[in-house]
Amino acid sequence: MLFLAWFVSGIVMMYVEMPELSERQRLAALPVLQAGAAKVSAAEAVQRAQLLGVASIKLTSLFGRPVWRLQGIEGAWCTIFADTGEVARSFEYDRARASLAPFVPAGAHLRFIGEVEEPDQWTVSGEYDEFRPLYHVAVGDGSGTELYLSGSTGDVVLRSTARDRGLAWIGAIPHWIYFTGIRKHSGNWRLLVIWLAAGACVVAALGLMIGVWRAFTARRSWSGYRGSMRWHHGAGLIFGTLTLTWAFSGMLSLEPGGYSTGAQPTVQQREAFSGTEDYNLYRQSPSAVIAASPSAKELEPYSVEGRPYYLARETDRPPRLFDSEGRPVESFPQDFLMKAARRAVPEGHVVEQALLTSYDAYYFDREDRRPLPVLRVKFDDPRGAWLYIDVRRGALVARYERSGRINRWLYEGLHRWDFPFLWSWRPAWDITVIVLLAGGIFLSCTGVWIGYRRLRLALAGAIPKSRSRESRSFPSKFRPAG
């Protein structure tokens, strides 16, 4: 039953996961920044926020006004209104509800559902904890839209429709075992999924061993079984290995034992590459940058080796980099980037460098959101680090060490079938994965049917407890033909 749930939900998850507010939806709801309205500089905003340390800062909009949004290293949020300098650390619902306007169609009637302090089904992921309390609101439109507002930032952080929630119940929730009562205990949930996947690996391996043994020892046919047992045997020989690798790679998604270093650069590597962020460099209002990028929705201060820049984000364009005077930065020289890369991996020497204008087997994105071109730099350090550097932003965007490259094939390769010859060719990838999942569904269905019939007969007393004779252990429907 568990295998069947995983295979069926896997088809749904090829296209839909848990409801979320996508980055594009979030940016689309924001107004463009106005040059004259942002009077407070980033340096002044940091000073007013009085945080222990700044983990992130950006100029965005709230209630139609420009604001500096800061997050401290301890996770706390602070909002500085850039037009007046007002400081806000939390928002009551009556004030935060103004953020709902871009998401509410004309004629809809808002209904406040309640304040969410603890995880519910749609905010059970830990990524929403920093935004609590959340205000849950029903829009009252024809799509059954529901929104979650953050009491920490005043922003909409989650949007879902009745369709999104319905698909989640047959997709992500059973696949990830994201039931609220289980998922909210993150440590226990992680162990549960790891042990279930490990148990599934044992079951699949035993099934393969028995299936291959029967195929080689059957006396009258390739299988030696009849009826549904024969169908299950054949499906297992064809799709059993795939079932095993999917269960194994699914377990690896939670990185048991921390065997993989992942793909994200460490904080130390980022700081060594770009230098420590000094917000005193941003003492001027960013009006010149806003004027040079009139479609910008957000600005993020971004220094490179002590030089101040701003990263401008728009709705339908990749981020663009500007210097503090509003001049666009097309790209950084390769020798400058190579010098920074050596600082990020001081224990190694460069063995290869290449400018990539298309994705490779490790640095890729099905939705083409990762920036290109990138400079790929390989080192001979003990961990075998590969760095990927965005030449337009002068940013270290990914790093794959040896363990990360192995994990890329064991998880993204075996579990998602993100092989270079497939992931870039749609719908070839879709057809292949759906056919394989359908085979897994058939294998699981035959197993469930056999188990149901055996259990039914056992409950009816048709199968004696004594196993002295094979004929009593196997009803005629399941008895080997040989």
pLDDT digits (tens, 9 = 90+) for 230-256: 999 999 999 999 999 999 999 999 988
Pick from 120, 154, 173: which residue ends a domain? 173
In a domain, 315, yes or no: no
pLDDT, tens digit (0-9, with 9 covering 90-100), for 281-303: 999 999 999 999 999 999 999 88
Burial (CB count within 10 angstroms: exposed 0-12, middle 13-18, buried 19+), residue 331: middle
The answer to whether residues 9 and 24 belong to one domain is no
Q: Give the 3-state DSSP-derived string for the chain, with helices as H, strands as E and coil as C.
A: CHHHHHHHHHHHHCCCCCCCCCHHHHHHCCCCCCCCCCCCCHHHHHHHHCCCCEEEEEEEEECCEEEEEEEECCCCEEEEECCCCCEECCCCHHHHHHHHHHHCCCCCCCEEEEEECCCCCCCCCHHHHHHCCEEEEECCCCCCCEEEEECCCCCEEEEECHHHHHHHHHCHHHHHCCCHHHHCCHHHHHHHHHHHHHHHHHHHHHHHHHHHHHHHHCCCCCCCCCHHHHHHHHHHHHHHHHHHHHHHHHHHCCCHHHCCCCCCCCHHHHHHHHCCCCHHHCCCCCHHHHHHCCCCCEEEEEEECCEEEEEEECCCCCCEEEECCCCECCCCCHHHHHHHHHHHCCCCCEEEEEEECCCCCCCCCCCCCCCCCEEEEEECCCCCCEEEEECCCCEEEEEECHHHHHHHHHHHHCCCCCCHHHHCCCCHHHHHHHHHHHHHHHHHHHHHHHHHHHHHHHHCCCCCCCCCCHHHHCCCCCCCCC
Per-residue pLDDT, averaged over 334-356, amounts to 94
Q: How far apart are CA 197 and CA 174, in angstroms?
A: 13
Measured torsion, CA atoms of residues 452, 458, 462, 463, in degrees rounded to the nearest 10 = 110
Please count the structural domains in the chain: 3
In a domain, 355, yes or no: yes
The answer to whether residues 335 and 190 belong to one domain is no
Residue 450 scores a pLDDT above 50: yes
Residue 354 scores a pLDDT above 80: yes
Question: So what's the pLDDT on residue 465?
Answer: 54
Pick from 173, 200, 227: which residue ends a domain? 173
Question: So what's the pLDDT on residue 482?
Answer: 44
The answer to whether residues 82 and 166 belong to one domain is yes
In a domain, 62, yes or no: yes
How do strand 134-138 and strand 156-160 relate by DSSP bridges?
Answer: unpaired
Question: So what's the pLDDT on residue 13?
Answer: 96
Q: Which residues pair with 67 in a beta bridge?
A: 60, 81
The answer to whether residues 142 and 32 belong to one domain is yes
Buried b (16+ CB within 10 A) or exposed e, 414-440: bbbbbeeebbeeeeebeeebeebbebb
Q: How far apart are CA 469 and CA 330, in angstroms?
A: 80
Residue 140 scores a pLDDT above 50: yes
In a domain, 161, yes or no: yes
In a domain, 292, yes or no: no
| % pLDDT > 90, the chain | 78
Residue whose token pair is 């909409």: 156
In a domain, 302, yes or no: no
pLDDT, tens digit (0-9, with 9 covering 90-100), for 393-427: 899 999 999 999 999 999 999 999 999 888 888 89
In a domain, 285, yes or no: no
The answer to whether residues 241 and 186 belong to one domain is yes
Question: So what's the pLDDT on residue 471?
Answer: 41
The answer to whether residues 25 and 165 belong to one domain is yes
Domain range enclosing 364: 330-400
The answer to whether residues 240 and 220 belong to one domain is yes
Question: So what's the pLDDT on residue 352?
Answer: 96
| % pLDDT > 70, the chain | 96
CATH number of the domain that 353 lies in?
Answer: 3.10.450
pLDDT, tens digit (0-9, with 9 covering 90-100), for 459-480: 888 555 554 444 444 454 445 5
The angle, 0 to 180 degrees and rounded to 10, between the axes of the packed helices 428-459 and 2-13 is 160
Burial (CB count within 10 angstroms: exposed 0-12, middle 13-18, buried 19+), residue 209: exposed
The answer for residues whose C-beta is within 8 angstroms of residue 302's C-beta and 6 or more apart is: 274, 309, 310, 311, 321, 393, 395
The answer to whether residues 43 and 140 belong to one domain is yes
Pick from 355, 374, 400: which residue ends a domain? 400
In a domain, 428, yes or no: no
Which pTM does this prediction carry? 0.88
Measured torsion, CA atoms of residues 240, 243, 244, 246, in degrees rounded to the nearest 10 = 160
The answer to whether residues 235 and 221 belong to one domain is yes
Residue 14 scores a pLDDT above 50: yes
The answer to whether residues 20 and 142 belong to one domain is yes
How do strand 65-72 and strand 298-304 relate by DSSP bridges?
Answer: unpaired
The answer to whether residues 21 and 136 belong to one domain is yes
In this structure, are residues 392 and 329 in contact, taking their beta carbons and an 8 Å threshold?
A: yes
The answer to whether residues 155 and 145 belong to one domain is yes
Structure tokens at 144: 């059954």
